Structure 1
């Protein structure tokens, strides 16, 4: 459970950051559907929310780490 939560959080956060930087690089054109970047940013944002938000994933990891430290 902890490893899955860590992988989901890391993958979606890094993916969104890269896509957001690409969007910034393209400026206003990044929001146009012809470039496809807007779809990638939108999809990654949804994946950050689906199956538990990344904040919940952080809580899962923290709880498992505290349990294992006891």
Structure 2
């Protein structure tokens, strides 16, 4: 995510336009980050699979 953020800053406002591949990379990076769920949801899923309560 940091690499894509840096690339986006280098391109400035044009980085958000679909004319540049960095705009697609930016959207894809964000989707991967939130696609599986929030950190809290993922913690609960992992805890459930381990047989413990989340937050313990």
User: More helix by proportion, 1 or 2?
Assistant: 1
Q: Per the shorter chain, which TM-score range?
A: 0.5 to 0.7
Report the TM-score, using the length of structure 1 for normalisation: 0.51
Gapped runs of 5+ residues in structure 2? 51-56
Structure 1 gap segments, 5+ residues each: 1-15, 65-70
> TM (normalized to structure 2)?
0.62
1:1-70 to 2 correspondence within 5 Å?
A: 16-53=1-38, 55-56=39-40, 59=43
Q: Could you say what the CA RMSD is over the residues aligned between the two structures, in angstroms?
A: 1.9
Highest Rg: 1 or 2? 2
Alignment length, in residue pairs? 45
